[in-house]
Amino acid sequence: MRSYSLTAPAKINLYLEIIGDRPDNYHELAMVLQSISLADKIDIRSIGIETIVVRCDHPLVPPDASNIAYRAASLMSKQFPDVFARYGGIEITIDKHIPVAAGLAGGSTNAAAVLVGLDLMWELGLTHGELQELGAQLGSDVPFCIGGGTALATGRGEVLSPLPNLDHIYVVLAKYKSLSISTPWAYKTYRQQFGDTYVTDTESQENSRQRVHSGPMVSAIAHHNHTEIGKLLHNDLEKVALPEYPQLLKLREAFASQNVLGAMMSGSGPTMFALTESQSQAEEVEAAVKGKMADPDLEFWIAQFNSSGISIAH
Ligand code: C5P
């Protein structure tokens, strides 16, 4: 086929612990990542000339090489130059629904869709591992976004252990339209403020990873204990984002005061989310928090946990 349409889901963090520094200047992490049904649609098409074109009508999504979806196509064209020459250029159209710079891996999941889409369109037959390796060259969350579902992520975020799927959990998301948080800022500020608590030697880092692997959040997921999952939500980056942006703390408190399993910021923020057991509960929570905050700058979404990552759109 000369074109593919793909669904690229967002992710939320159920757990994010910063363990320490890495020699590559990134952070050693232990995270639980969860795909959700809030998704972008990515169309990929072969075009006559050997070039890469990105189209997106969202004002914050650049069409050039600074777009991670463009970089994904560029990486594939360099990795497989003969196939690129045979098939011609690549046109990528992004139908954006996931908020940008929001802690939901919106860019990473677009890049993951380009890798999966080109693997299909060019009939490369890459393995999941090969796609994940390419993804890791683009961003720490890209490998997870390819397969999605529920996973424990360590290393930079690219070392993945699948966890049992969590069905029937709903999520209400809220984000201030005018507020975005840069991921490098969040990690840099965390290092400045909490660097002295970092675990430095490799053995202690391994112990920290093991503690999460065999810890209460992973156990709660294994037992499908939704109440415990809600209670155990944890994100170290809240320690820098909430003091800097007090409106986020208020939003978190508004969510937590409702009938929810738990509430937390996703990734480096600023999206705040709450987990519920049903769609109707999610709708009630959305209406209550909307009423309480009464701020036209605040946008809401309702989604469901997703058991997969990139899929072909129907
Ligand atoms: O890998 P990605 O491009 O998504 O990372 C964005 C930024 O987040 C990095 O430049 C780095 O500042 C920070 N980061 C980090 N440690 C990680 C992942 C991301 O410090 N494990």
- Specify the pLDDT at position 48: 82
- Specify the pLDDT at position 1: 64
Q: Which mutation among 27, 104, 209 tests ligand 1's pocket best, with the greatest number of atoms within 8 A of CB? A: 27
Pick the closest to residue 51 from 19, 77, 75, 69 (CA basis).
Answer: 77
Exactly one of 40, 119, 141, 236 is catalytic; which is it?
A: 141
Q: What is the pLDDT of residues 43-89, one digit of tens each?
A: 999 998 889 999 999 999 999 999 999 999 999 999 999 999 998 89
Residue 112 has pLDDT above 80, yes or no: yes
- Specify the pLDDT at position 195: 96
Residue 120: burial class (beta carbons within 10 Å; 0-12, 13-18, 19+): middle
Pick the closest to residue 293 from 253, 242, 265 (CA basis).
Answer: 253
pTM for this structure?
0.96
For residue 191, give the ligand 1 atom closest to its CA. Answer: 20
Quote the ligand 1 centre to 223 CA distance (angstroms): 31
DSSP assignment, residue 305? B
Q: What is the pLDDT of residues 170-181, one digit of tens each?
A: 999 999 999 999
Q: Is 239 a catalytic residue?
A: no
Q: What is the pLDDT of residues 187-246, one digit of tens each?
A: 999 999 999 999 989 999 999 999 999 999 999 999 999 999 999 999 999 999 999 999
- Paired strand residues for 54: 92
- Specify the pLDDT at position 107: 97
